[in-house]
Amino acid sequence: MNQRPNEIKIESHGDIILLDIRGDVTAFSELSLNSAYNSAKESSPKKLLLKFEEAAYINSGGIAVLIQVLAQTKRNNQKIGITGLSDHFKKVFNMVGITKFATIYPTLQDALSAMSAMS
């Protein structure tokens, strides 16, 4: 079974760069997610928002890829938000500690308005 590559749209919302990630998040997402992050980094954003599809399948390989992105955002002093997660993956992200490094927002609008207000 092959996984289709993620389609990741990059959008600017004021001083926030949104990565709109379509598809499942697994070890196979490494290339597309790193590539999107590197493209986003070109504009030196201080705030990054990752939006997932609520029905996405996310496994430990995908979590490892995400943590590597979080490590880069920490090194680059970027604030990072996450939205679009199902209740299950909100719980999983909390269990593995992702919420120590990223804030999870219930909706895209919540994320944009909260992150816009950050200095």
Partner 1 sequence: MLDDQTVELNLPSKIGYERIAIGGLAAFAKSVGFSSSRIEDLKTSVAEACINAMQHGNKGKPDARVLVAISFQENTLRISVFDEGEGLKAQPKDPDIERIIENLDPPVGFGVFLMKRLMDEVEFNRTSNHRHEVRMMMKLTG
> Given the rule CB under 8 A, which residues bind partner 1?
1-3, 26-27, 57, 59-61, 63-64, 67-68, 70-71, 74, 86-88, 92, 95-98, 100-101
Nearer to partner 1, 25 or 112 (CB): 25
Looking at the Cβ atoms of 14 and 77, the one nearer to partner 1 is 77
* Least separation in angstroms between CB 77 and partner 1: 13
Q: Compute the least distance from the CB of residue 32 to partner 1, in Å.
A: 16
How far apart (Å, rounded) are the C-alpha atoms in residues 113 and 85? 18
Q: Can you tell me the distance from the alpha carbon of 43 to that of 69, in angstroms, rounded to the nearest whole number?
A: 16
Task: Please state the closest distance from residue 102 (CB atom) to partner 1, in A.
Answer: 11
Tell me the three state secondary structure of residue 36. Answer: helix
Nearest to 51 by CA among 20, 25, 30: 20
Alpha carbon distance 32, 6 (integer Å):
6
